[in-house]
Structure formats: structure tokens, C-alpha cells
Chain A
Amino acid sequence: MSYTLPIPQPGTHTRPFWEGAKAGKLMLPRCQDCNRVHWYPRHLCPKCHSDNLEWIEASGEGTIHTYAVQHLAFGPWAAEAPYVTAYIDLKEGDRMLTVLRGVDAGKPQDIRIGAAVKVEFELANDDVHIPFWRVVEE
């Protein structure tokens, strides 16, 4: 099955993220001066402004910070509606926007802020595997 949705292109500050994704690993930038993780990846630590960054393999675990059900979407995503978007509180710190899996967009009352989620990757093309987060069964 080919991936029909918009595909991000690996860029200057994100290449290690996408390389990790190909191997099924969630790679996050961490500051070697203040030890904090940030998202999204950029050229410096937005918390202490150091240039001294490294990439770490994260746990791929997090919790739902907030969510919304997208009924009116645009472009190729229009065909996916309704779908659930969410901000994930990463175990290592900061938040990541995602499309939530393992939930029923028709039953939003069953989606719980604070619920545990785990990252997974979908192959979009040879170079890009896209992260999605799935609710962990309790």
C-alpha cells in the first residue's frame, strides 16, 4: 500500500531524526549543557541557547496532553477525516503533535487525556518513515 499523505522532507536539523525513524527509533535532540530534550529539532537548545546538542534514542513513550477530532481537513488528509490529533507529553520532555492511533474518532468520549501512548512509524517512502502515536491498552 503506498502512502498517499504529504511526506516531510528531511532537512538540515532533522536528518538524524529521520534516520532513526527508518530504524524504528525515536531520536530526540538533547542539550549537552543543560541535559534537556527539546522538540521540534532546531539549531540550538531553545531552553539554554547552547549549540552543544546531541541526539538520543528516546523511550518512545508518552502521555496524551490534549487532543482534537479533525472533521474538516484539507488536501489528501480530507479523505482521512474524521481523525484524532493530539499533543503528546514525551517521557523525555517537551511535546510532539501527532495523529493518534488506536482510538475511535467517532467515540471521542473514550479518549482520555493523560492516557499512555507509544510511538510507531509508518513507511512513507524509502527515506521517510513517519511517526504516529498509539494508545497503549490498559
Chain B
Amino acid sequence: MSGEIEADSPRYLRGKYAIVGVGETEYTRGSGCTTRALGTRAVRAAIEDAGLTPGDVDGMLSYSFNDSTPSPAIAGDLGMRLDFHMDVYGGGSSIEALVGIAIGVIEAGMCKTVVIYRAMNGFSQVRIGGTGRGRGSAMSGNGLFSRGIGMVSAAQMFCHSFMRHMYDYGTTPEQVAHVKAIHSEHASNNPKAYYSKRTTVDEVLASRMIVKPLHLLDCCVETDNGTAIVVTCIDRARDCRHTPAVIQSVVGRCLKPRSDMHYQSGPISTVAGRYAREILWPNAGVGPEDIEMTGSYDAFTFTTMMQLEDYGFCKKGEGGDYVSSGIMRLGGARPNNTSGGHLCEGYTHGINMVIENVRQLRHDVDDGCPVGTNGKRRHTYDYCEGGCRQVEGVELSANLGWGTPGMGSAMVMARGS
């Protein structure tokens, strides 16, 4: 661990901020509306969920690939006058980084409560899978030699790392296919999930090849949706509607060496989590062994596996064993992506995995269990198809966000009081 980190220093604001509201629109293919409408609805839902009104929220952040609607439009639609806003460029690995920025601007006295959203027509308008982003601009730098040979999609670019991981450690496609199978089990207990049908390891391996070693079902879904969370300080969080998800530490867009082209800095079968973990765990004051559930970014089955490994949930090289062991299933020792994640629930560049962990930490995840007279679900902890997906008694979660093999973000959250 890095000697730079003073784990007991109060300046890292451990436990001082919380996520108090979450909201989303339906996960669809063909929203039939603008990203402005999606963003506005998601922000409104997250603020309502917190028990606040738009007038109580004075900060706004968003992230996009220039495929969305910026904060001033969303705020205008909701009648909000903002003291702070910023719309940043980027996809995966943005949300944890933006939570850190929200904490920073509140701490600086620039505003009091920040809503963060991602609004995208990720299927019906700009598809990241290769047909949308990155084709138009001039070829320069590394792009001179990658775009010239047709490399435009994330799958095309990341797959070399996955192949080298298989070579270095004997990881097999069959092991990694368990990620999809397990996330599909979780999605079958999530009424919101775009793909709610259970998928087997054999079905993953039998699906058509996209970029070897990635089959179609190793790749995430593309959907249209708006998603949002509300961040505020712990004192205000206690006045909100739900049990807060208290932020223990964040890491934002941490990079590997040679970040312009991480492939030049071996080993390429190691991802940015190897570096991010040296901030994440000391700042949180806990280690991976303490974490009860994870949200490891699943743009691809392999990204989930490589991150869990490099954040230290298993020994280096044993990610294949970890993800195929059953530990990530509901009812296992450390479930991952209990909503179904990007592989099944919907594609949001990471924020839905944070939303899910917030609801889990409230012990009020929105599955099919009956709602009691107090308005909260009475969970059965029966994880059969269509059943419960609440992790029993969960107190501590980790989100592991992926941008590229060379860029990652992460966050530890604890159940508040």
C-alpha cells in the first residue's frame, strides 16, 4: 500500500457525505424522447426519492460523450436555480469521480446538495458499441495506427488485454461466462432489467463471436435511459427520507502508467484498479475482505473479472476462479451487480451499479417482495427466479468503475444510521 495515504486523517472526509436519493427512467430500446426528458425525469425522481424538492438542490453534475443534454437545460425544466454545475466528458468511471467532485464542491462551500445524472439514448441515438462514437475525427496519435486498422469499438480495443490475461493466467472463456450467467440470475429478480431472462454459461459460449475472446453475450446491452443520484453532507442526509448510503472513500479516474496507451506499459493484463486500490482501501479504512457486495463494472464479462482481481478480492491471476466460484451470486459471500448490471439491467456508464448498491444498503431493494405497511419491502431472501434480490443485512459495498483497461474509479459506501 502507498505510504502517501494517511488512513486515519480526517481530511479524506470518510463518513462525512452520503448518497440520499436515487432515480431512473425505464431501461428501454427506443425511449421515444429526448435525453433532456430522460435527464429531467431521472433528476426529478432522485430528488423526490431523497424526500427533497428541486428547490433544495443547488448543485448539478453530469457526464456524457457529447451525446446528452447539459445541466442548465435540466435545471431550467425543473425550475432549479443552481449555485454550481458542470457537465464533464466521459463515460465509464465517471460516476465515482463525480461523487468525489460533488463532495469537494460542497466542502468548499460552493453549494450544499448535488444531483448527478447520466441521460442517454444509448441504443436509439449514439451506440457506443462502435457504430456511433469515434468514427468522424481525424486520425492522430495512437489513433493513427488503431483507427487505420478499423479499431473503433470498446470491444475491439479491450480484447487484447483479455486475451493476454488468458495467456498469462490460464483464465478461460467458460470461467468468465459465469459473470453473465450470474448477473442474469440477479436481473431475473429485477423488474426494471431490460434483459430479465436467465442465461447459462453454455448459452454465452454458444453465442456468436464479436471479438475473440468476447462472445455476443460477454458484451453489455445498449439501452436508452436517464439515471441520477443525490449527494449531500451527512448532517443533511439524516433529514432525508431513507437510510443514507455513507461514502467511505472515492477514487476518480485513476490511471495506469503510459495512460495515453497503457498497452506500452506492461503487464497489460493488469488494469487501473491495481493503482486505485492503494487509495480506495486506506481511505475507507477497510479492505476487500470486509466488503459484503460489489458493483464491478460489466461492460464486458472480462472487465468485472479483471477489476475484482486487481482490487484485491482474490490473488492476481485467480480472477477466473473467483468469478466462477459462486461467490458473486445472490446468497454467495459477496454478490456482484445484484441488479444485473450493464450485462442485463441497462447501460448507463456505471451509475445504475451505484444506484443498486444505495438501495441495497437501505435494505429496501426494489424486487418483487411484498411491501409492508411501513412502505418498505418485507424481503424473503429467497433468490429463486422472480424472487428476492436483497442482500441480507448488507452494511458495506464497493463500486469498481471501469473507463478503459488503463482508467478506473471506485467507491466504498456503508449503511448509515
Contact = CB atoms under 8 A, between A and B. Distances in A.
A21 to B, nearest CB: 12
B150 A14 contact: no
Contacts of A66: 160-161, 163-164, 167, 268
B411 interface: no
A97 B151 contact: yes
A75 B150 contact: yes
A102 interface: no
Nearest to A108: B212
A56 interface: no
A78 to B, nearest CB: 8
Interface in A21-64: 38-40, 42, 46
B325 interface: no
Contact of A71 (B139, B163, B164, B210): B210
B263 A97 contact: yes
B132 to A, nearest CB: 10
A70 B150 contact: yes
Nearest to A71: B209
A136 interface: no
Contact of B148 (A6, A42, A95): A6
Nearest to A76: B150
B139 A6 contact: yes
Contacts of A130: 148
Report, as a range, how many residues of chain A touch the other chain: 35 or more
Interface in B152-184: 152-153, 155-156, 159-164, 167
A74 B149 contact: no
Contacts of B164: 65-66, 113
A73 B156 contact: yes
A46 to B, nearest CB: 7
A46 B164 CA distance: 24
A4 B163 CA distance: 29
B145 interface: yes
Contacts of B212: 68-69, 71, 108
Of residues B144, B148, B151, B159, which shows the largest number of chain A Cβ atoms within 10 Å of its Cβ?
B148
B161 A46 contact: no
Contacts of A38: 264
A113 B167 contact: yes
Report, as a range, how many residues of chain B touch the other chain: 35 or more
Given A69-B212, A71-B208, A95-B264, A87 B135 contact: no
B261 interface: yes
Contacts of A69: 209, 211-212
A9 interface: yes
A74 B258 CA distance: 27
Nearest to A40: B142
Contacts of B156: 68, 70, 73, 85
B149 A46 contact: no
A72 interface: yes
B368 interface: no
B3 interface: no
B150 A80 contact: yes
Contacts of A76: 150
B53 interface: no
Interface string B257-274: 010110110001000000
B145 A87 contact: no
A16 to B, nearest CB: 14
B146 interface: yes
Of residues B146, B160, B210, B213, which shows the largest number of chain A Cβ atoms within 10 Å of its Cβ?
B160
A101 B178 CA distance: 33
B131 interface: yes
B155 A72 contact: yes
Interface in B200-234: 208-213
Of residues B131, B260, B263, which shows the largest number of chain A Cβ atoms within 10 Å of its Cβ?
B263
B51 interface: no
A70 B142 CA distance: 19
B145 A71 contact: no
Nearest to A114: B167
B143 to A, nearest CB: 9
Nearest to B261: A40
Contacts of A94: 264
A68 B163 contact: yes
Interface in B280-308: none
A92 B162 CA distance: 25
Given A40-B261, A69-B211, A11 B144 contact: yes
A40 B144 contact: yes
A87 B147 contact: no
Interface of A: 5-9, 11, 14, 38-40, 42, 46, 65-78, 80, 82, 85-87, 94-99, 108, 113, 130
21 contacts: A5-B148, A8-B139, A8-B147, A11-B140, A40-B141, A40-B142, A42-B141, A46-B258, A67-B163, A68-B163, A70-B211, A71-B208, A71-B212, A74-B150, A76-B150, A94-B264, A97-B146, A97-B149, A97-B263, A98-B145, A113-B167
Given A46-B258, A71-B210, A85-B149, 4 more contacts: A8-B139, A9-B138, A68-B163, A87-B160
